[in-house]
């Protein structure tokens, strides 16, 4: 009986561990979500993509490789130039708000993600804010790619900067580990239930 109780106790602990790890994974997923803020009330309704492309000085697809000034200033690796081709270097600085110690109601905050940027020319940088059509890159935005613009390999494959694959493998590995733990707990529970009492052994 002691072995059966120990097996059941171990199975319960493993299941509790799986549940806690799953909750932690979900919480971390939400915490690591897109850092770009929602458009505030001081912005007019977002312009359609085609109108936004006509109004912007520069339109490009790029991935943020570094941020500063509370995430409002971003270093961007340019991957596709949709507008102002030839005048945009391979790496640019985008400012989504004023300098340190200042703030506005339309500051944009960047995460280390891929974006479709709608920018205004600055001095030695590009300007953006939360009222522009700048958005996290998604497959449905590809329909607006101008004729003659070749999809960048990393963009077409969904590969993030600095990674060798198109998906984030860490959550996948974590989920696989959790599944293995859950399977072991299930097997231990079944064995404990099927084990004959001590007096029959």
Q: What is the pLDDT of residue 3?
A: 59
Is 42 part of any domain?
A: no
Tell me the residue range of the domain where 71 lies: 49-157
Q: Measure Cα distances from 95 to 34, 83, 119, 136 in Å.
A: 17, 18, 9, 16
Q: Could you tell me the CATH number of the domain that includes residue 106?
A: 2.40.50.120
Q: What are the structure tokens assigned to 67, written together?
A: 């941020």
Its pTM stands at: 0.62
Q: What is the pLDDT of residue 32?
A: 44
**Residues 110, 135: contact at Cβ < 8 Å?**
no
**Cβ-based burial of 198 (10 A; exposed 0-12, middle 13-18, buried ≥19):** exposed
Task: Indicate if the pLDDT at residue 162 is higher than 70.
Answer: no
Q: How many domains does the chain have?
A: 2
Q: Helix axis angle, 2-31 relative to 169-194, nearest 10°?
A: 160
Same domain, 153 and 194: no
Q: What is the pLDDT of residue 185?
A: 74
Task: Indicate if the pLDDT at residue 195 is higher than 90.
Answer: no
Same domain, 100 and 172: no
Averaged pLDDT for residues 109-117: 98
d(CA 22, CA 138): 26
Is 44 part of any domain?
A: no
| Structure confidence at residue 41 as a pLDDT band (50, 70, 90) | very low
Is 162 part of any domain?
A: no
pLDDT in tens, 57-84: 999 999 999 999 999 999 999 999 999 9
| Structure confidence at residue 141 as a pLDDT band (50, 70, 90) | very high
Least confident of 33-47, 110-124, 139-153: 33-47
Same domain, 122 and 72: yes
**Residues 36, 109: contact at Cβ < 8 Å?**
yes
Q: What is the pLDDT of residue 25?
A: 55
Is 39 part of any domain?
A: no
pLDDT mean across residues, the chain = 80
Task: Indicate if the pLDDT at residue 29 is higher than 60.
Answer: no
Q: What is the pLDDT of residue 35?
A: 45
Q: Mapping DSSP to helix (H, G, I), strand (E, B) and coil, where does residue 91 land?
A: strand
Same domain, 67 and 150: yes
d(CA 167, CA 165): 6
Same domain, 192 and 105: no
């Amino acid at each position: 009986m002691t072995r059966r109780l120990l097996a059941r106790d171990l199975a319960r602990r493993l299941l509790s561990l799986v549940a806690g790890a799953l909750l932690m994974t979900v919480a971390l997923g939400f915490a690591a979500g897109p850092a770009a803020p929602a458009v505030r009330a001081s912005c007019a309704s977002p312009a359609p993509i085609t109108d936004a492309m006509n109004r912007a000085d520069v339109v490009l697809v790029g991935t943020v490789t570094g941020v500063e000034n509370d995430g409002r200033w971003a270093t961007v690796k340019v991957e596709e130039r949709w507008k102002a081709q030839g005048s945009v270097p391979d790496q640019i600085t985008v400012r989504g708000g004023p300098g340190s110690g200042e703030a506005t109601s339309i500051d944009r905050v960047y995460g280390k993600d891929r974006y479709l940027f709608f920018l205004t020319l600055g001095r030695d940088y590009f300007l953006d804010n939360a009222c522009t059509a700048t958005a996290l890159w998604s497959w449905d935005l590809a329909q607006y790619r101008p004729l003659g613009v070749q999809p960048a390999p990393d963009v077409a494959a969904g590969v993030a900067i600095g990674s060798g694959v198109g998906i984030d493998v860490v959550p996948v590995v974590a989920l696989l580990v959790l599944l293995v733990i859950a399977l072991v707990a299930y097997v231990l529970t079944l064995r404990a239930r099927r084990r004959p009492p001590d007096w029959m052994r």
